[in-house]
Chain A
Amino acid sequence: MAAQQNHRAGGSIIDSLGEEIVRIVTPVSICMFLVVILVAVLNSGSSSSPPTINTIATIAYSETTSDSTWDKLKGALLNALVFVVVVTAVTFLLVLLFYFRCTHFLKLYMGFSSFIVLLFLGGEIALFLIRKFSVPIDCFTFLVLLFNFAAVGVFAVFLSKMAIIVTQGYLVAIGMLVAYWFTLLPEWTTWVLLVALALYDLAAVLLPVGPLRLLVELAISRDEDIPALVYEARPVINHDQGSREYEGQRRAWRRRRESGNDSESDHNIVTSDAEVTAPLIQNRVSSAADGQESSVASTDNSFLEGIGLGSSGAIKLGLGDFIFYSVLVGRAAMYDFMTVYACYLAIIAGLGVTLMLLALYQQALPALPVSIAFGVLFYFLTRLLLEEFVVQCSLNLVMF
Chain B
Amino acid sequence: MTVAAGIGYALLALGPSLALFVTVISKKPFLILTVLSSTLLWLVSLIVLSGFWRPFLPLNSAASWPFAVLIITSVAFQEGLRLLFWKVYKRLEDMLDAFADRVSKPRLYPTDKMLIALAGGLGHGAAHAVFFCLSVLTPAFGPATFFADQCPKLPFFLVSSIIALAFATIHTFSMVIAFNGYSDGNKLDQLFVPVVHLVAGMVTLINFTTGGCSIGIPILYIITILTLLHCGKMVWGKLTENQIRL
Contact = CB atoms under 8 A, between A and B. Distances in A.
Interface of A: 1, 3-4, 7, 10-19, 21-23, 25, 257, 259, 261, 263, 303-304, 306-307, 309, 336-338, 341-342, 345-346, 348-349, 352, 378, 381-382, 384-386, 388-400
Interface string B182-206: 0000000000000001001100110
Given A307-B95, A342-B43, A394-B133, A337 B138 contact: yes
B213 A397 contact: yes
Contacts of B197: 400
A396 B61 contact: yes
Interface in B6-60: 27-33, 36-37, 39-40, 43, 46-47, 49-51, 53-54, 57-59
Nearest to A15: B28
Contact of A396 (B27, B112, B208): B208
Contact of A303 (B43, B102, B134): B102
Contact of B47 (A11, A349, A381): A381
A388 B51 CA distance: 10
Given A338-B135, A394-B136, A399 B59 contact: no
Contacts of A3: 243, 246
Contacts of A385: 47, 50-51, 54
A349 B40 contact: yes
A393 B132 contact: yes
A396 B67 contact: yes
A228 B133 CA distance: 42
A396 B150 contact: yes
B117 interface: no
Given A349-B40, A400-B71, A13 B103 contact: yes
3 A-B pairs with the lowest CB-CB distances in the bound complex, closest first: A389-B50, A338-B135, A400-B201
A284 B217 CA distance: 57
Contacts of A341: 43, 130-131, 134-135
Chain A CB within 10 Å, residue with most, of B67, B132, B216, B242? B132
A389 B50 CA distance: 6
Main secondary structure, interface of B, reads helix
B110 to A, nearest CB: 10
B106 A400 contact: no
Contact of A399 (B57, B204, B243): B204
Interface in B200-235: 200-201, 204-205, 207-208, 213, 216
Given A303-B102, A386-B46, A389-B53, A12 B108 contact: yes
A257 B40 contact: no
A107 B204 CA distance: 61
B178 interface: no
B246 to A, nearest CB: 4
B43 A22 contact: no
Contacts of A348: 36, 40
A316 to B, nearest CB: 18
Interface in B145-169: 148, 150-151, 159-160, 163-164, 167
14 contacts: A13-B30, A13-B103, A13-B108, A17-B96, A259-B104, A309-B30, A352-B33, A352-B37, A388-B54, A390-B50, A392-B61, A393-B67, A396-B208, A397-B207
A10 B135 contact: no
B5 interface: no
B103 A257 contact: yes
Contacts of B159: 397
B218 to A, nearest CB: 14
A338 to B, nearest CB: 4
A395 B148 contact: yes
A381 to B, nearest CB: 5
A11 B105 contact: yes
Given A14-B112, A398-B205, A336 B243 contact: no
A349 B41 CA distance: 10
B100 interface: yes
Nearest to A23: B29
Contacts of A11: 105-106
Given A349-B40, A397-B213, A398-B67, A17 B204 contact: no
Which residue of A1, A12, A395 has the most chain B CB atoms within 10 A of its CB atom?
A: A12
A164 B27 CA distance: 21
B32 A389 contact: no
